[in-house]
Amino acid sequence: MSGYDYDLFVIGAGSGGVRAARMAAAKGVRVAVAEDLHLGGTCVNVGCVPKKLYVYASEYMQEIEEGRGFGVNADSVSFDWATLRDNKKHEIARLNGIYGKLLDNSGCTRINGRATVTGPNSVSVNGETITAERILVAVGGWPFVPDIPGKEHAITSNEVFDLDSFPQRVMVVGGGYIAIEFAGIFAGLQAQTELVYRGDLFLRGFDQEVREFTATEVARKGIKLSFNTDVASIEKRSDGALDVTLSNGEVRVVDQILYATGRVPKTANLGLESAGVAMNSKGAIEVNDHFQSSVPSIYALGDVIDRVQLTPVALAEAMSLVDHLYGSGEGELPNYELIPTAVFCQPNIGTLGLTEEQARERFDSVDIYVSDFRAMRHTISGSEERTLMKLIVESATDKIVGIHMVGADAGEILQGLAVAVIAGATKRDFDRTIGIHPTAAEEFVTMRQKTR
């Protein structure tokens, strides 16, 4: 047994930190976890979970309207923001409790407080110095808002879930998946919604055809898309409304402005610099393949290393680290290239592997299969929403190297197909798979003619 208070001290009880702590404790490691906010981190409290609940709420409004085509009439439909907000709070509180029990039952010591690194093997929390053989930093990220006049009047994803009242006029600033998802939520709940992005088109890094198709469908939902512009300043009126001046000189009057312009690693004031931990210009901790920082006893994973900011990735990194330190020693790394991803805009996006642009750069020849159709339900729902499905195949091997979808339940469909693609499925494997009829998903196994 080492002469330290703990074998492993984890700073941050989000998805990655909790998974690492529990797995290590199960192997007999003496573990302590410190958290100064809520258990579960971003995902549980101000990320994936509440966001998906709000997406569900916004979709109900659309489905009620579409039901008219099927003879389902609901003449008196209203939305109560307080009910959604407060029911969400109850669910998050339940999940916080589950995380606490998981940690306690695993044998971890749970500390409520902000921990800072004071040396290679020591931290300070609640005025007490605690030593550990290894320190794991898993503090996640924090929303970034650019420094513009009136930035104090904007909110971020940290505050958006608990607004006192529902805004009727909303501006969402940003071009990433968080911005698009929240624009869909507000618009679906009948708010007048505008999305402002400084670039030519949102979702940079996604397949170009997916980006263009999504823009068309999002606009079809009533969201005003303002590209190649930005917010210059925000002023608050006496009645609480906001005058938002854009870079092109135009002024919008809104009730709420939400900034979803990215998240940065939450490494400020953690004592990492004084401990000698190397970080990049964004504040992300630099680590090697086994999540070890420039200080051998200090490790980091999850959003704080800014590789792929997704909860399942943090979980995979945690399992890899614990196996490396306390298990077999191999600690298989996550496959960062083949990560199935969903964007819960409306309609949803599901994606895995290479974009068409990436595939053409990497391979001598690729075959592209695309299907663009109106889903069966919308033949009588009255909705003009369309679905896009796309397969990218390396010609020489017939292997599927990219798969993309924009449409209802895209995330659910892509999760299953991801198993096949990661296992090395070829286009022939897809062709000889019998589809489930009638479903949208069957289109993935019935695309026979190359689009290009």
Q: Which residues are catalytic?
A: 437
Q: Which two tokens stand for residue 36?
A: 């100064």
Is residue 449 classed exposed, middle or buried when 0-12, 13-18 and 19+ CB atoms within 10 A define those classes? Answer: exposed
Please state, in angstroms and rounded to a whole number, the distance separating the CA atoms of residues 139 and 305: 10
Please state, in angstroms and rounded to a whole number, the distance separating the CA atoms of residues 11 and 171: 35
Q: Where are the alpha helices (H) located in 155-304, listed in sequence order?
A: 177-188, 208-220, 272-275
Torsions phi, psi of 109, nearest 5?
-90, 120
CA distances from 347 to 59, 292, 376, 381 (A): 10, 39, 15, 15
Contact indicator for 33, 10 with CB cutoff of 8 Å? yes
Residues with Cβ within 8 Å of residue 328, at least 6 apart in sequence: none
CA torsion angle 141 143 144 147 (round to 10): -140
Q: Which two tokens stand for residue 253?
A: 């009057």
Please state, in angstroms and rounded to a whole number, the distance separating the CA atoms of residues 82 and 87: 8
Strands 263-265, 298-300: pairing kind: unpaired
Contact indicator for 245, 196 with CB cutoff of 8 Å? no
Q: What strand order describes the sheet that includes 400-406? A: 341-343, 349-353, 400-406, 387-394, 366-373
Please state, in angstroms and rounded to a whole number, the distance separating the CA atoms of residues 275 and 267: 13
Contact indicator for 203, 180 with CB cutoff of 8 Å? yes
Please state, in angstroms and rounded to a whole number, the distance separating the CA atoms of residues 95 and 328: 32
Q: What is the C-alpha end-to-end distance of the chain, expressed in Å?
A: 63
Residue 346: Cβ within 10 Å count: 24
Please state, in angstroms and rounded to a whole number, the distance separating the CA atoms of residues 87 and 81: 10
CA distances from 137 to 94, 177, 264, 425 (A): 25, 26, 15, 37
Strands 31-35, 109-112: pairing kind: parallel
Please state, in angstroms and rounded to a whole number, the distance separating the CA atoms of residues 339 and 352: 6
